Amino acid sequence: MKLQRMNRRALALGALAVSGALALTACGSDDTGTSSGGSSAAAKPGSIKCDDAKGQLLADGSSAQKNAIDAWVKQFAVACQGVQINYKGGGSGAGVTAFTQGRVAFAGSDSALKPDEVTASKKVCSGGQGIDLPMVGGPIAVGYNVNGVDNLVLDASTLAKIFNNEITNWNDPAIKKLNPEAKLPDLKIQAFHRSDDSGTTDNFTKYLMATAKKDWPYDGGKTWQAKGGQSAAGSSGLAQQVKQTNGAISYFELSYAKDGMKTVDLDTGAAQPVKATVENATKAISEAKVVGTGKDLALELNYGTKAEGAYPMVLVTYEIVCDKGNKSDTLPATKAFLRYIASEEGQKVLAENDYAPIPDDIIAQVRTTIDGLS
């Protein structure tokens, strides 16, 4: 009976720790998405090594990975009760800025650091620089809300014209050609894009540039460049607009396409249109190549793949951290958290929350790099 009371007390303390960590994680966040499944891949007792980590860990960045961060924090907080993690999720642009200004221990970004950002990072990474650690993969889903249309196929050219305000009605001939069986209404298209600088925008437009350059005459980047359309902040903001607006279409990480939201199947040139699923995204991400130098593990994605069952509109979120010169008061907690999320247990959490784990050969390099952070 005494042992049972002790177990109950330990569970209660664990629950309180999770609650406190989640409250901190949500504080000030621009994104309120929650993970779609609760993680059954709970870390085994003792498998998360805290290494005497303690204190508050501030981070900001990619809203696309926020649901993954939330799921990881639930597990990490139970094992490392001396660490409180506050991940704001204000967007990739905000995260990189906060990192280069020395305001966060690490940042999340759906785009690798650019040369000028690496240069800026050297001011806060004493004797080192910011590096990219690929940690979260997943499909960029194109969610839509058109009453009476439950299945929709689009190709890159048509998507480009929709988001460039050249196709403005749902019964446009180009959409009809791809969906001969659908009852497409005479309804104005409401195309929503991100109002904030976003790595999801960067990857979405990289896909269009790689596969429909004629119809997408822009340079790409985190800032939206096309004409027309409407905007909202964060992945959750776009998802909310699609849910409440008949005729809406937008792009966001798959974990935000919930509560019955319909998503577009991509006509990639393969034999069959490809659905936005974790499995199909993993097939595309498996073609990625490491192009970073030194300890930087930036990837080059193959947006133009036509492999059967490969969904090429994908993103990889990087955790950005100093290779050398991390602040001594946050380094132990940073390494402990990154070590967990890169572990086999941590990566298993991803698939259960509509994300794609990083391929084995690449995540192995990430683990080695984390161990060497100083």
Tens-level pLDDT at each residue, the chain (374 residues): 434 444 444 334 343 333 333 333 333 333 434 433 444 455 554 589 998 889 999 999 999 899 999 999 999 999 999 999 999 999 999 999 999 999 999 999 999 999 999 999 999 999 999 999 999 999 999 999 999 999 999 999 999 999 999 999 999 999 999 999 999 999 999 999 999 999 999 999 999 999 999 999 999 999 999 989 999 999 999 999 999 999 999 999 999 998 899 999 999 999 999 999 999 999 999 999 999 999 999 999 999 999 999 999 999 999 999 999 999 999 999 999 999 999 999 999 998 898 999 999 999 999 999 999 99
Report DSSP state, residue 74. H
Q: What is the pLDDT of residue 44?
A: 57
Indicate the SS3 state at residue 41: coil
Q: What is the pLDDT of residue 12?
A: 40
pTM attached to this predicted model: 0.79
Residue 168 near residue 209, CB atoms below 8 Å: no
Count Cβ atoms within 10 A of the Cβ of residue 315 and give its class: 0-12 exposed, 13-18 middle, 19 or more buried. buried
Q: What is the pLDDT of residue 46?
A: 57
Q: What is the pLDDT of residue 53?
A: 85
Q: What is the pLDDT of residue 69?
A: 97
Say which amino acid occupies 340. Answer: Y
**Gap between the Cα atoms of 333 and 339, Å rounded:** 10
CA atoms within 13 A on the CB side of 275: 6
Q: What is the pLDDT of residue 43?
A: 55
To which residue do tokens 């409401």 refer?
190
Residue 61 near residue 89, CB atoms below 8 Å: yes
